[in-house]
Amino acid sequence: MIQFKQLTLTRGAKILIEEASFQLHPGHKVGLTGANGAGKSSLFALLRGELHPEVGDLEIPPNWIVAHVAQETPALTQSAIDFTLDGDAELREVEQALVQAEAAHAGEKIAELHQRLSDIDGYSAKARAAALLDGLGFLQTDLQRAVSDFSGGWRVRLNLARALMCRSDLLLLDEPTNHLDLDAVIWLEGWLRDYRGTLLLISHDRDFLDSVVNNILHIEQQRLTLYRGGYSDFERQRAEKLALQQAMFEKQQRKVAHLQSYIDRFRVQATKARQAQSRIKALERMEMISAAHIDSQFNFEFRVPVSAPDPLLVLDDVTIGYADKPILSKVAFTIRPGERVGLLGKNGAGKSTLIKALAAELQPLTGKRVEGKDLNIGYFAQHQLEQLRPNESPLQHMLRLDPLTREQEHLNYLGGFDFKGDMARSPCTNFSGGEKSRLALALLIWTRPNLLLLDEPTNHLDLEMRHALTLALQDYVGGVILVSHDRALLRASCDRFVLVAEGKAEVFDGDLDDYKTWLASSKAQQAAADVVEKPMKKNEYAQNKADRQARILARRPLLKSLAQVDEGLLKYQTEKQSLDTSALDATLYEPGRKVELQQHLKRQAELAALIEATELEWLALHEALEALPEIQ
C-alpha cells in the first residue's frame, strides 16, 4: 500500500501539504482535487520520486511499477503502434533478449523467454495496443503513421495510450480527458474502471470522476483529507463538514465573547479578580476553531446582448468541407435566441467543421449561410488561446478591446475570472492553460455576443470555473452551440442535441445516455461490417417480413467462417499441447539435438501466435453475429 506518515511537502519557501497521514490500498481509485496551485501536480511529482518530502515519510512498495503520461512527445519517426508498445518496458526487454538468444542459438534461454512472453501476454500485446489506439480515436490507417505526423493534441493521446499500455501497479493521470472528445472519454472511463492497479487521477470533469473513482483526496489549506465515494459524495460530505465547522465556530465565538465581556467588566475589581483571571486562562487554553473556508468562487455573468435577431443564423441546405472534399452535406440548421444546442458525434465526424461554418471561418461549398441583422458571434475554440498577446496583461487585453471603459471597471470585471491584484497587470506569457482559457472567455463575454459558439471551452478549466460557466450559460439569453466532452456542462446547458455523423448533421432524439448507447451500437455495427466486408445501410435490416431472408443470408457467411475458425483453433491447440508436453523431455536439450530443439521452439512460438490471432478472429465473428438483428 501507499502510506503518508506525517508528511510535509514544500516548493521553495511555500508549504503545499502539511502533516499528511493516510493510506491508499491496492486497487483504490482516487480522484485528487483542490484549487489551482494547491499542490496536486507537486504531489504527483512526489509519487514519481521527482520531489522529496520536507518532513515525514512516503512509503511505496519498492517493486511497484509507476506509470504516468509524459508531458512532451518528440517528433519521432517511430510508428504510433510501436510508440505505444514501448509503454510495456518488460515486453520490449523480453523481445530484445529473444532476438539475442536466437542469434546465439541458446535453446534453454529461448524457451525461458518464450515462457515469459506468454506469462506477460506478450503474444497479444500488438492487439492490445491497437485496441487502446482505437479507443482513443485513432483510425486503423493511423497505426503505422510516424509519431511526427500527428498534431500536438494527438501526440497527447499517444502519450496516454503509452501510459495505459504499461502493466503498472500505480497509474498517475493528470487531466487525461483534455484533448479527448466525448466518445474517447466514455471509452477511457470503461478502461479505467477495469484497471486493476491503484489509480490517482486529477480531473475537472465531475461525471468522469463519479464514474471512475471510489475515493477523493482533497487538498485545502495545506491539508490532505481522504473522502470515501465519488465526487458527488465528496461534495455532500464536505458541505456537511463545513456546515458543522461553521456552527462550532459560531458557538465558540459566542463563548469567547461571553468570557471576554466578563473579563472586561470585572478584571479591575478586587473581589472578582480571581474569577476574571481564571477566565483569561480559559481563553488562553482554548483551541480556536477557524471559520469554515471555501475556495474563492468565480463570479461572472454574460452581459445582455445589444440586439436579438430572430433567427440568429440559418444554414440552408449547405455542403461544408475543404476544397473539393465535402465533410457534411445537406445541412439545414436554424438557431434562435435562447436556444442551446449541443453537438454530438465521433471524433473526425465534422463537429468542429460545422462550428467553423457557423462562425464564417469556413465558407459553404454549396447552399446559403444567412445571418440575422446585427448578429454578434462569440466564438471560443482552442486556437483563440494562441491569439492572446503573451507580453500583455489581462488588463491590457481588456483596454485594447474596449479603451473607452474605465480601468477600474475592467479590473472589477477581471476579478470575477480570478484575475485579481498583481495578476490582472501581469503579462500572460507564463499563464497556465486554465488561466489563458479564462482570459479568452472573459474577452469573449465582454463583447456582448448574441450567439455563442463554444468548441471544447472547458479544456484546462478547473471544477469551480466550469461550475461558474454552467451557471452563467443558464442565465444567458442568446443562442448557444456547444461542443464539449464535459457531460455535466452539456446536461445543464443544452435543450437539444444535433448528431454529426455519416456526413450529416441531424437532430438527435435522445439524451447523453442514449448517445452512449448509440456509440456502442455504432461500434458493433462497424465490427460486423469489417467482418462481412461490406457497408451496412441503416435500412438493411428493417423490421419487416421481406427482410427476413436477407438476415438469414447475412448470418450464413459468418456462421461458416466461425465453423472454420473453430476447427482451426482446435487443430492449433492440439498441436501446441503436444509440443508443450514433449518440451518437458530433458533429452531434447542435449547438444546433439540442437537443430531439433530450435525447430521445436520455433513451431511453439508460431502456434502461440496462430492461436492468439485465431482467438481474436473468433471474438470478432461472435461480436458481428451479436450485432446483427435477430431473425423474427
83-99 pLDDT, tens digit per residue, is 999 999 999 999 999 88
* Of 442, 455, 484, 490, nearest in space to 382 by CA: 455
DSSP 507-525: EE-S-HHHHHHHHHHHHHH
Cell 518530502 belongs to residue: 53
Residue 463, all three cell numbers: 471544477
> In angstroms, rounded to a whole number, what is the distance separating the alpha carbons of residues 311 and 442?
26
Q: Could you tell me if 374 and 305 are in contact, meaning their C-beta atoms sit under 8 angstroms apart?
A: no
pLDDT of 577 strictly over 60? yes
Residue 173, all three cell numbers: 493521470
> In angstroms, rounded to a whole number, what is the distance separating the alpha carbons of residues 440 and 12?
31
Task: Cite the beta strand spans of 525-573 per DSSP E.
Answer: none
Q: What residues contact residue 179 under an 8 Å CB cut-off, 6+ apart?
A: 153, 154, 156, 157, 459
> In angstroms, rounded to a whole number, what is the distance separating the alpha carbons of residues 370 and 372?
7
Residue 270, all three cell numbers: 478586587
> In angstroms, rounded to a whole number, what is the distance separating the alpha carbons of residues 536 and 529?
6
47-72 pLDDT, tens per residue? 998 888 888 888 999 899 999 998 88
Mean pLDDT value of segment 230-235: 86
Sign of the dihedral through C-alpha 557, 558, 561, 566: negative
> In angstroms, rounded to a whole number, what is the distance separating the alpha carbons of residues 400 and 124?
58
DSSP 52: -
DSSP 175: S
DSSP 232-260: HHHHHHHHHHHHHHHHHHHHHHHHHHHHH
The confidence band for 279, taking pLDDT boundaries of 50, 70 and 90, is low
Q: How far is CA 201 from CA 45, 104, 248, in A?
A: 13, 45, 33
The confidence band for 408, taking pLDDT boundaries of 50, 70 and 90, is very high
515-534 pLDDT, tens per residue? 888 888 887 776 666 555 44
Residue 120, all three cell numbers: 506477460
pLDDT of 288 strictly over 70? no
pLDDT of 268 strictly over 70? no
Which residues in 281-316 are b (16+ Cβ under 10 Å) and which e? Answer: eeeeeeeeeeebeeeeebebebeebeebbebbbbbe
Mean pLDDT value of segment 266-278: 60
Q: Give the pLDDT confidence score for residue 504 in this predicted structure.
A: 92
Mean pLDDT value of segment 110-131: 88
> In angstroms, rounded to a whole number, what is the distance separating the alpha carbons of residues 94 and 102?
12
409-442 pLDDT, tens per residue? 999 999 888 888 888 999 988 888 888 888 999 9
Q: Give the pLDDT confidence score for residue 152 in this predicted structure.
A: 81
> In angstroms, rounded to a whole number, what is the distance separating the alpha carbons of residues 18 and 219?
10
Mean pLDDT value of segment 574-588: 81
Query: Checking DSSP bridges between strand 325-335 and strand 377-380, what pairing results, if any?
Result: unpaired
* Of 89, 132, 98, nearest in space to 608 by CA: 98
> In angstroms, rounded to a whole number, what is the distance separating the alpha carbons of residues 46 and 33?
16
pLDDT of 80 strictly over 50? yes
CB burial of residue 264 (10 Å; 0-12, 13-18, 19+)? exposed
> In angstroms, rounded to a whole number, what is the distance separating the alpha carbons of residues 497 and 491?
10
Dihedral angle computed from the Cα positions of residues 548, 552, 558 and 559, in that order, rounded to the nearest 10 degrees: 140
CB burial of residue 76 (10 Å; 0-12, 13-18, 19+)? middle
- CB atoms under 10 Å from CB of 210, counted, come to 18
The confidence band for 582, taking pLDDT boundaries of 50, 70 and 90, is confident
Largest CA distance in the chain: 112
235-245 pLDDT, tens per residue? 888 777 777 76
Mean pLDDT value of segment 154-181: 92
Q: How far is CA 291 from CA 241, 245, 294, 360, in A?
A: 12, 7, 10, 52
DSSP 320-371: EEETTEEEEEEEEEEE-TT-EEEEE--TTSSHHHHHHHHTTSS--SEEEEEE
CB burial of residue 271 (10 Å; 0-12, 13-18, 19+)? exposed
- CB atoms under 10 Å from CB of 25, counted, come to 9
pLDDT of 271 strictly over 60? no
> In angstroms, rounded to a whole number, what is the distance separating the alpha carbons of residues 162 and 179?
16
Q: How far is CA 410 from CA 398, 450, 488, in A?
A: 7, 21, 30
Q: Give the pLDDT confidence score for residue 293 in this predicted structure.
A: 45
Cis amide prior to 337 (ω within 30 degrees): no
- Report CA Rg, the chain: 31
The confidence band for 266, taking pLDDT boundaries of 50, 70 and 90, is low
Report CA 2 to chain centroid distance, whole Å: 24
456-490 pLDDT, tens per residue? 888 888 888 888 888 888 888 899 999 999 998 99
